Amino acid sequence: MADNRPIGLFDSGVGGLSVLCEIKKVLPRESFIYLADQKNVPYGTKSKKVLNNLTLRITKFLLKFDIKMLVVACNTASCYSVDFLRNNFNLPIVGVVPAVKPAVKLSKKGKITIMSTSATAKSTYLKNLIAKFSSAKNVLSLGCDGLEDSVENLNYKKINSLLDEYVKRANSFESDVIILGCTHFPFLKNDIQKRAIKGTKIIDSGKAIASRVKFLLKQNNMIAAKKTKDLFFTTLNRKKFSNVASTLLKYKVLAQKASI
C-alpha cells in the first residue's frame, strides 16, 4: 500500500540540500518538507543541550505536515541529537554519519582526513566511530571553522581562502581519503579535489543516507505512489535562502518563513 505522506528533512541551513539531492535520485516519487534553521546557524558552535532543544522544536514543526520519516540532514545535529529525537518521537529517524567505515576500506595508505564542523570533530560520537573502524593516529579530524557559514552565504572568496588552508593541512597529513563530514561540504567537492594531492578520494555520506531512507521506506511499506509539491522553509530570510538554494540545486526554490 502506498504512503504519499512527505519526508521531513532539516539542517542548520542549505547543507542538507546535498542530502536531499541524493534521496531524490533514488526516490523520485517522494515529496519533501525541508527546513533550514538559519536563524541558529552555525550548529557547529552549539552545545548538546542547545542542539537538543532546537531539534526538538524543529521536529515538532515538521510533524505538523504529517511527515512519515525524519532525516536529520546535518552531521552536527546527528552526532549530538539523533538518539534524543528517537527517544522522543515515534517515527523512523535517519541521521547523517561521517563515512569513516567506507573511507577505511578505500584508503591504501591508511591515512584519512575528516573535514567537519568543530562540534562534530570534538563529538564523542565521531571519536567512537573512529575508534571502531580505524586508528586515531591515522585519522586527522579537522574542524573547519567558518566553512559552513561561508557556504550559507556563497562567499566564494572566503570559501577559497579557507579551503586553501584546510586542504593544505589534509595534504600535510598525507591523506589519500578525505571525508566530507558536514552536509554543506559536498557542494565544494570539486574545489576540494582540485587542491588535494592527486589521486585523493573525496567521499561523503549522501548516497548511503539515500540508500538507508529507501530501505526503511520499503521495510515499513511507506513508498509513495505519486509525488506532491516539495516545500522549503527557513527560520530567517526566505528570499536569501531561496536564492542560495536555487543556485545550489540548479532549479527554482521559493521558500517560506517558519517559526519554531
Q: What is the per-residue pLDDT across 213-247, written as a single tens digit (0 to 9) for each?
A: 999 999 999 999 999 899 999 999 999 999 999 99
Is 28 inside a domain boundary? yes
Same domain? For 156 and 197 the reply is yes
Count of structural domains, the chain: 2
Same domain? For 189 and 217 the reply is no
pLDDT at 189 over 80: yes
Same domain? For 140 and 227 the reply is no
Q: Cα(74)–Cα(2) distance, rounded to whole angstroms?
A: 28
Domain span including residue 197 = 100-204
Average pLDDT over residues 33-53: 91
Is 1 inside a domain boundary? no
110 Cβ contact partners less than 8 Å away, ≥ 6 residues apart: 104, 134, 135, 138
Same domain? For 69 and 126 the reply is no
List the CATH number of the domain containing 69: 3.40.50.1860
Chosen domain end from 165, 184, 204: 204
Nearest to 53 by CA among 36, 44, 40: 40
Predicted structure pTM score? 0.89
The pLDDT-based confidence of 155 (bands split at 50, 70, 90) is very high
Q: Which of 21, 79, 144, 182 is catalytic?
A: 182
Same domain? For 90 and 212 the reply is yes
Is 217 inside a domain boundary? yes
Residue whose C-alpha cell reads 539542517 in the numeric block: 11
Is 16 inside a domain boundary? yes
Is 43 annotated as contributing to ligand binding? yes
Same domain? For 116 and 192 the reply is yes
Same domain? For 144 and 212 the reply is no
Is 213 inside a domain boundary? yes
The answer to whether residue 74 is catalytic is yes
The pLDDT-based confidence of 133 (bands split at 50, 70, 90) is confident
Same domain? For 90 and 118 the reply is no
Calculate the average pLDDT of the chain.
93
Is 141 annotated as contributing to ligand binding? no
What's the confidence (pLDDT) of residue 162?
98
pLDDT at 29 over 70: yes
The answer to whether residue 144 is catalytic is no
pLDDT at 136 over 70: no
Is 125 annotated as contributing to ligand binding? no
Is 2 inside a domain boundary? no
The pLDDT-based confidence of 39 (bands split at 50, 70, 90) is very high
Q: What is the pLDDT of residues 68-127, one digit of tens each?
A: 999 999 988 998 899 999 999 999 999 998 889 899 999 998 899 999 988 889 888 888
Same domain? For 126 and 247 the reply is no
Pure H helices in the chain: 17-26, 48-63, 75-88, 100-106, 118-122, 124-133, 147-152, 156-172, 189-195, 206-219, 238-249
